[in-house]
Amino acid sequence: MNMQKINAGIIGATGMVGQRFITLLAEHPYFNIGVLAASPKSAGKKYSEAIEGRWKLTLPIPEKVKDMIVLDAYDVEKVSGMCDFVFCAVDDTSKDEIKKLEEAYAKAETPVVSNNSVCRNIPDVPMLIPELNGFHADVIETQKKRLGTKTGFITVKPNCSIQSYVPMLTPLLKFGVKSVVVSTYQAISGASKTFADWPEMLDNVIPYIGGEEEKSEQEPLKIWGDIKDGVIINAKSPVITSQCIRVPATDGHMATVFVKFEDSNNKPSKEEIIKIWKEFKSEAQELNLPSAPKQFIYYFEEDNRPQTQLDRDLENGMAISAGRLREDSAGIFDYKFIGLSHNTLRGAAGGGVLSAEYLYRKGYIVKK
């Protein structure tokens, strides 16, 4: 399919998620990298100079960005003049400042696809996993009226950890899911760290990640919400309780999940659930979006799968893995299973790119 390429800006281009955006967009069929922006201390430098000693990925820095001059992310007018929309991965300032910055770009008629959490709870800001709730983009029109814009708006991606289990729960909601207990085991790249700069994580597990449990319990309810009067109304069920733990893995967030149905006597069979997962498709697959996995959910029959190291990179890190689905032998819950997602690909930058592809194809992001 022939589509006119448009220019993307990357705000926060020197951070780990910004680096991921760069590698994903370097040869993208829809988007050019039009501008790189970061904090004032990086502004005015070539990207290779601004990132010297700070590149955290195993992939090399793409040649085409090495000599690009980094702009000041707070020079909204100049950055907006060089791109059609921006990805925002700013992580070195306060939430209030990030919100002001994202709204400034939106009001400059530059759509924002954000990796940050600050706008996730706003009812007219869609929090997209395109395979699950692409229709939430409908509320963008309400948001534009609030902001007083014609083309500018903000969309966000959800917390990276919830993508290791929400995709499997979503098609089960029609059976009446009552409650969920989930524990996530989250890689250090979720904190924008490597083992080189976080040696304390070697041979270690930290049983707390600030703010993650609240996000794990609340954000799925927005994903599953309905639109009413132009805004997203969060679902009221199922009830979710969680624990979030940092583990010594480079990439990949794993989840252990326990599920209780409203009527345990009429719950789907194990075989039915696995079939639903394997056959799950959405508009993202129908549109053949470049970043969309051909198969969204992979189910592994082996007892020792999915594994972080073996399975996080399925379909360029954009597929979700599940395994060990079985009935709860104690009878407290109906089923339990394991989930896995790549946190900086599906969970962060890749999820943002997929959302932008979806918004582009649906006509929300356009060439200026």
Of 364, 359, 216, 338, which Cα lies nearest the Cα of 291? 359
Task: Report the helix count and the strand count for the chain, using DSSP H and E.
Answer: 14, 14
Q: How far is C-alpha 331 from the chain's CA centre?
A: 34
DSSP string, 177-230: EEEEEEEEEE-GGGGT--TTT-GGGTT--BS--TTHHHHHHHHHHHHT-EEETT
Q: Name the β-bridge partners of 113.
A: 87, 155
Burial class (CB in 10 A: 0-12, 13-18, 19+), 26: middle
R_g over Cα of the chain: 20
- b/e code 233-269 from CB counts within 10 Å (16+ = b): eeeeebebebbbebbebebbbbbbbbbbbeeeeebbe
Q: Residue 360 in contact with residue 30, Cβ under 8 Å?
A: yes
What distances in angstroms separate CA 287 from CA 25, 39, 44, 141, 292, one per listed residue?
A: 19, 36, 39, 22, 9
Q: Residue 167 in contact with residue 281, Cβ under 8 Å?
A: no
Residue among 136, 244, 253, 342 flagged as catalytic? 253
> What are the backbone angles phi and psi of residue 284, rounded to the nearest 5°?
-60, -40
Amino acid at 116: N
Burial class (CB in 10 A: 0-12, 13-18, 19+), 102: buried
331 phi-psi bin (left φ>0, alpha ψ -120 to 50, beta other): left
- Tell me, yes or no, if 342 is annotated catalytic: no
Query: Could you tell me which residues come within 8 angstroms of residue 309 by beta carbon, excluding any fewer than 6 positions away?
Result: 249, 252
Task: State the CB neighbour count (10 A cutoff) for residue 166.
Answer: 27
Residue among 88, 160, 244, 342 flagged as catalytic? 160
Would you name the residues annotated as active-site residues? 160, 253
